[in-house]
Amino acid sequence: MNRSLMPPSFLPDRIAFYALKFLTRLCDTMGVLLLASTLLIIVSAVVVRDVLGLSMPWTEEIASLLIIYAVGFGSISAWVRGEHLLVDLFSHRMSSLAKGLQYRLVALISCSFFSLAAWGAWIMSYMSAHNKTVSLSISFTWLYYGILLGFVGMAILALWQTLRGPVEWQSIKGSGGDDN
């Protein structure tokens, strides 16, 4: 086995390694299940409409809800793996100390943004508590909870990154959980 894929020996890092690995697998599994459910619902609606001539207007509402939660879980998984969009223009010219400071600064700014976005999702969930979808009368609050889930998860991870700083085992592609 490649040494770079081995879990760290320092106990807190080892715990974080396995926790992030578990979190990534959980989020990936939930995202795949939610997307598969969405696909099944949409295909069912098309088949029922075209073959039986019946309509299933509620499928749009359920599909929207499932997609929002799938994006929430997927965003957490992508954050752990470092797969969100990143523009890196000058990091390759920086010293190790400067890279570490940049890493923490970006994580702190990201944590602030994610916290603000989570707060906005929380406020919107409160403000839309009495607004309901047309077909199933599902409160829009449940839609905003999916957004809240994604931003809270990424804010917690960004806070951890700010406090911990860069770690060698996390910068390895795939160490978030898809190799072991």
Return the domain boundaries, the chain: 11-84+94-171
Q: In 142-172, which positions are buried (b, 16+ CB within 10 angstroms) versus exposed (e)?
A: ebbbbbbbbbbbbbbbbbebbeeeebebbee
Percent of the chain, pLDDT > 90?
69
Positions of E strands within 23-102: none
pLDDT band at 43 (very low <50, low <70, confident <90, very high): very high
pLDDT at 4: 53
What SS3 state is found at 132?
A: strand
Structure tokens at 79: 């954050």
Backbone angles phi, psi at 78, to 5 degrees: -65, -35
Would you say residue 37 has pLDDT above 90?
A: yes
Would you say residue 159 has pLDDT above 80?
A: yes
- Mean pLDDT, the chain, whole residue set: 89
Would you say residue 97 has pLDDT above 70?
A: yes
Tell me: the pLDDT tens digits for 133-144? 999 999 999 999
